[in-house]
């Protein structure tokens, strides 16, 4: 997966250039766009190799507009409009409304969401509260779960990493009839005053996007950090869950153990 341009009502990513370097040199490289509009680069290396390095350098601009305070659509209205096909974007939202390979809707998730989703409450307010609730009630713990832990396991443990939190929040939203999608991207860490920015301190990250009706469109929330996403959140790709957007996937021929290292570096080109 490589960066793409994404346009949303209240935010957008404009991707100006991408330079991908792969070592060793692949025998074949292809590009295509997947079902969710993400850019996929696939390659194969037929020579024997001990290590594989993939580096992607891209220049992007992230815009973030404040949410218009005037729009106070309730969460039931959004769900109801979609159900009645009154929302012009019902079809796009459909894809993110049902069970996906790693996320199954259930009464348990619906009940967890009910604390925040009171009757006729504003959708944005309710989702913000759910985001906070997950942030407070779940322990951030890299040892609690692994890549293939289920959403239910992480929910039971009340612990996990960003991927688990995103899955849990999506499960809650879909269980009450709201479309939600998984966003995989980078998080830029802003150094504290007086400190030098550290190279590679930025991270791969995951958060969610909820469909808030045609006026607001998709709005991103970060349950790991309990916030509405800002310009430090740089989305790369979207999907129904982690399975659709794992940043890199492959098959290697031959034995031995493999080890994976990832580092991310976000630098601003112009101050702003």
Partner 1 sequence: MKLNSTPPAPPPFANYHPKHSFYDEYLSAGGYKDGVWQPIAGYLDRLGSDRIQACAAEAERLVHQSGANFQITRDELQKSRPWQLAVVPLVLDDQTWGKLESGLQQRMRLLERVLRDLLGKQQLLKERILPAELLSANPEFMPAYHELPARGNRLTLTATDLARDNDGSWWVTGDRTRAPSGLGYALENRIITSRVLPQLIRRSNVTRVAAFFSSLQQELNSLAPRMRDNPRVAILTPGEHSYRYVEDAYLARYLGYTLVQGRDLAVRGDRLNLKTLGGLLPIEVLWRHVSDHKCDPLELDPSASQGVTGLLQSIRSGTVSVANSIGSALVQMPALMPFLPAASKFFFGNDLSLPSIATYWCGGAKERQYVLEHLDDLVLRPAFVVSGSPPINPLELSTDARDKLIAEIKARPHHFVAQQRPSRSTTPVWHNGQLRPWHMAMRSFHVQTENGVDVLPGGLIRVSPDTESLDHSPNSGRRGQDCWIVADAPVDHESTLLPPSNAPIRLMRGGKELPSRVAENLYWLGRHAERTEAVARLLRTTLTRIAGENPVEDVVDLPRMLAALAAVGQIAPDYAIKELVQALPTLEAVLPDSVFDRNQPRGLQASVINMVEKAKAARDRISGDGYRIITQIGDDLVGTAKNPDIGATIERLNQLITDLIALSGLGHESMTRTHGWRFLQLGRRIERAYQTSELLAATLTHPISDEGPLLDSVLRVTDSIMTYRSRYLSRLQATAAIDLLITDHTNPRSLVFQLQAINELIAELPNDSVYQVCGEDQRTAQHLLHYVRMAEPTDLAFTELSGKRSELSGLLNKLIDGLPRLSNEITARYLIHTGSTQLLNGSTEKASR
Helix axes 75-83, 123-137, angle to 10 degrees: 110
Q: Tokens in use for 190?
A: 């802003």
Give the residue among 111, 163, 161, 115 at the shortest CA–CA distance from 138: 161
Rounded Cα distance between 81 and 66, Å, is 24
Contact between 93 and 82 (Cβ < 8 Å): yes
Residue 21 interacts with partner 1 (CB under 8 A)? Answer: no
Q: Tokens in use for 90?
A: 């019902």
CB of 158 to partner 1, least distance (A): 15
Closer of 193 and 251 to partner 1 (Cβ): 251
Residue 36 interacts with partner 1 (CB under 8 A)? Answer: yes
Pick from 78, 79, 154, 161 the residue near partner 1 by CB under 8 A.
161
Burial of 147 (0-12, 13-18, 19+ CB in 10 A): exposed
CB of 112 to partner 1, least distance (A): 18
244 DSSP assignment? H
Closer of 14 and 27 to partner 1 (Cβ): 27
- The H-or-E segment that residue 152 falls in is helix 151-157
Pick from 66, 194, 255, 272 the residue near partner 1 by CB under 8 A.
255
Closer of 74 and 178 to partner 1 (Cβ): 178
Residue 140 interacts with partner 1 (CB under 8 A)? Answer: yes
CB of 184 to partner 1, least distance (A): 7
* 218 Cβ contact list (under 8 Å, min separation 6): 8, 9, 181, 209, 210, 211, 212
Residue 241 interacts with partner 1 (CB under 8 A)? Answer: no
Q: Which stretch binds partner 1 (CB under 8 A): 2-10, 12-20, 40-48, 108-116?
A: 40-48
Pick from 21, 42, 72, 268 the residue near partner 1 by CB under 8 A.
42
Residue 49 interacts with partner 1 (CB under 8 A)? Answer: no
Residue 189 interacts with partner 1 (CB under 8 A)? Answer: yes
Q: Which stretch binds partner 1 (CB under 8 A): 11-19, 68-76, 98-106, 117-125?
A: 98-106
110 DSSP assignment? H
What sign does the CA torsion over 239, 244, 53, 21 have? negative
Pick from 14, 27, 156, 215 the residue near partner 1 by CB under 8 A.
27
Q: Tokens in use for 141?
A: 């713990």
Pick from 23, 262, 265, 268 the residue near partner 1 by CB under 8 A.
262
Site size toward partner 1 (CB under 8 A) is: 51
* 140 Cβ contact list (under 8 Å, min separation 6): 159, 160, 161, 224
Residue 99 interacts with partner 1 (CB under 8 A)? Answer: yes
Rounded Cα distance between 164 and 81, Å, is 29
Binding region for partner 1 (CB under 8 A) = 27-28, 30, 32, 34-36, 42, 44, 46, 85, 90-91, 94-95, 97-99, 101, 140, 142, 146-147, 161-163, 165, 184, 187, 189, 203-206, 224-225, 242, 244, 246-255, 258, 260, 262
């Amino acid at each position: 997966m490589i960066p793409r341009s994404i346009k949303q009502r209240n935010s957008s990513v404009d991707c100006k250039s991408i330079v991908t370097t792969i070592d060793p040199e692949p025998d074949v490289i292809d590009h295509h766009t997947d079902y969710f509009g993400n850019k996929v680069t696939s390659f194969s290396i037929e020579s024997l190799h001990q290590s594989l390095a993939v580096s992607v350098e891209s220049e992007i601009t992230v815009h973030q507009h404040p949410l218009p305070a005037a729009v106070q659509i309730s969460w039931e209205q959004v769900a109801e409009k979609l159900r009645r096909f009154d929302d012009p974007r019902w079809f796009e939202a459909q894809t993110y409304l049902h069970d996906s390979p790693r996320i199954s809707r259930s009464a348990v998730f619906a009940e967890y969401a009910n604390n925040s989703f009171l009757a006729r409450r504003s959708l944005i307010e309710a989702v913000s509260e759910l985001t906070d609730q997950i942030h407070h009630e779940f322990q951030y713990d890299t040892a609690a779960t692994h890549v293939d832990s289920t959403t239910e396991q992480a929910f039971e443990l009340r612990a996990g990493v960003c991927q688990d939190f995103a899955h849990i929040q999506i499960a809650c939203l879909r269980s009450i009839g709201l479309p939600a999608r998984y966003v995989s991207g980078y998080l830029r860490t802003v150094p504290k005053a007086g400190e030098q920015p550290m190279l590679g301190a930025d991270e791969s990250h995951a958060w969610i996007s909820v469909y808030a009706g045609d006026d607001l469109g998709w709005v991103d929330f970060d349950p790991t950090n309990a916030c509405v996403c800002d310009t430090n959140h740089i989305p790369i790709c979207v999907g129904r869950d982690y399975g659709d957007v794992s940043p890199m996937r492959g098959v290697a021929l031959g034995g031995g153990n493999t080890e994976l290292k990832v580092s991310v570096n976000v630098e601003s080109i112009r101050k702003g």
